[in-house]
């Protein structure tokens, strides 16, 4: 089992300007600490136009800084949006950073969403074929003395593309995935999964198996198969078990709030989230059924009781989502949170279903820098060593 940190570079934006300088300096400090206490990876997203939700439009700049202040931790695009970039430029940038980091780069890839795509002048209908052509080109650019290409979107006359990566034959490749179809696509291409959705562990187990089964028939786009499942999950560790679980639950539910990009425009978004998180828990079934039986006026009253806006989505699902508590979410593995003992137990659940890395989301708009630093240190000193020992013992037993 490996441990990563996933960064949106997130801060609240409620009509006032974000202190970007402070945000990035805090982010670098957190990454430096993660390197020191034993984390395996740092992952940074690429987002545009999502003010407040994400301040990570240019990973290369951050990675250049990380190449100087970290020593051993691997650094990954989580992800690079391939349709936005010429494949030659992606290959050059990643290779240069791989040289600066002595071979610590990972290339996660994806296609983003229609809101960002159209803002950058892309037709969303073209992004699948743009991604597909690019992911086939990049490994060939890295491994060819002279590269040339004639395709649907790009034509490159014979050229030498330099530098080549420090890692030979090339860095690992990944795809950001949210559905069984994308898990299958990653497997078919022989690349790893960076699962960008949240699941209960019992739900996730079936999805991991879909990928593993499909991987048996892979036709890798690169020189080797990257057999890897990384799963993002909101996390927080503190000696106060209940406090940590509630803080992580609040963080995740805010992350998936009705104004957020992962929710806007999605029909039945909260029904899908609740299903992925293991369904309505028994202790909320009565309230859920009561909501379905109410009149419009009674809906409004109940909405006020549970802090739900009727404009934010289907009433019953939104109400149940708002009431899901930290203890339930932690027991299901939807969050990795609580005291060190609780976090260890949940990480072992991920290990048992074949997840290779948990990509922990700690820095969010509801968790400030000092708390993140404390959680990173506690994971590094009290959680990671125990989970890695458990994984090693499990592997020997198998």
Q: Which pLDDT tens digit goes with each residue over 95-125? A: 999 999 999 999 999 999 999 999 999 999 9
Q: What is the pLDDT of residue 297?
A: 55
Assess whether pLDDT exceeds 80 at residue 288: no
Question: Which CATH number is 2-251+325-397 given?
Answer: 3.20.20.30
- Mean pLDDT, range 391-397, rounded to an integer: 73
Assess whether pLDDT exceeds 60 at residue 309: no
Percent of the chain residues topping a pLDDT of 70:
89
Assess whether pLDDT exceeds 90 at residue 262: no
Structural contact between residues 1 and 357, judged by C-beta atoms closer than 8 angstroms: yes
Q: What is the pLDDT of residue 16?
A: 65
Q: Domain ranges for the chain, please list them.
A: 2-251+325-397, 282-323
Question: What predicted TM-score, i.e. pTM, was given to this entire model?
Answer: 0.92
Higher pLDDT, 397 or 333: 333
Q: What is the pLDDT of residue 312?
A: 41
Alpha-carbon distance 274 to 315, whole Å? 13
Assess whether pLDDT exceeds 70 at residue 74: yes
Q: What is the pLDDT of residue 394?
A: 76
Q: What is the pLDDT of residue 283?
A: 74
Residue range 3-38, pLDDT digits in tens: 999 999 997 766 567 899 999 999 999 999 999 999
């Amino acid at each position: 089992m490996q441990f990563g940190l996933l960064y949106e570079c997130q801060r609240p934006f409620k009509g006032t300007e974000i202190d970007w300088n402070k945000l990035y300096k805090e982010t670098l400090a957190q990454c430096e600490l993660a390197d020191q206490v034993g984390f395996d990876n740092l992952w940074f997203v690429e987002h545009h136009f999502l003010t407040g939700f994400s301040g990570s439009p240019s990973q290369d700049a951050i990675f250049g800084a990380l190449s100087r202040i970290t020593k051993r931790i691997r650094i990954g695009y989580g992800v690079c949006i391939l349709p936005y970039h010429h494949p030659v430029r992606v290959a050059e940038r990643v290779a240069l950073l791989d040289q600066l980091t002595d071979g610590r780069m990972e290339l996660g890839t994806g296609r983003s969403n229609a809101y960002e795509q159209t803002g950058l002048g892309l037709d969303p209908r073209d992004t699948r074929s743009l991604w597909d052509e690019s992911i086939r080109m990049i490994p060939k650019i890295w491994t060819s003395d002279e590269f040339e290409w004639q395709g649907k979107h790009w034509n490159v006359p014979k050229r030498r593309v330099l530098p080549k990566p420090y890692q030979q034959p090339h860095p690992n490749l990944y795809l950001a995935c949210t559905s069984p179809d994308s898990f299958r696509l990653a497997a078919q291409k022989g690349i790893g999964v960076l699962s960008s959705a949240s699941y209960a562990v019992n739900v996730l187990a079936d999805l991991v198996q879909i990928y593993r089964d499909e991987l048996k028939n892979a036709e890798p786009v690169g020189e080797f198969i990257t057999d890897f499942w990384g799963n993002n999950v909101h996390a927080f560790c503190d000696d106060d078990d209940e406090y940590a679980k509630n803080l992580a639950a609040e963080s995740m539910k805010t992350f998936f709030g009705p104004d957020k990009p992962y929710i806007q425009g999605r029909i039945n978004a909260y029904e899908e989230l609740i299903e992925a998180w293991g369904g309505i828990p028994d202790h909320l079934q009565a309230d859920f059924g009561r909501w379905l039986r109410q009149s419009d006026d009674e809906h409004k009253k109940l909405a006020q009781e549970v802090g739900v806006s009727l404009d934010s989505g289907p009433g019953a699902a939104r109400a149940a989502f708002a009431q899901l508590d930290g203890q339930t979410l932690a027991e299901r593995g939807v969050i990795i949170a609580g005291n060190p003992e609780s976090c260890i137990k949940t990480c072992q659940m991920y290990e048992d279903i074949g997840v290779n890395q948990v990509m922990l989301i700690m820095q969010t708009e509801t968790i400030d820098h000092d708390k993140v630093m404390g959680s990173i240190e506690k994971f590094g000193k009290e959680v990671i060593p125990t989970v890695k020992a458990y994984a090693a013992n499990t592997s020997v037993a198998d």
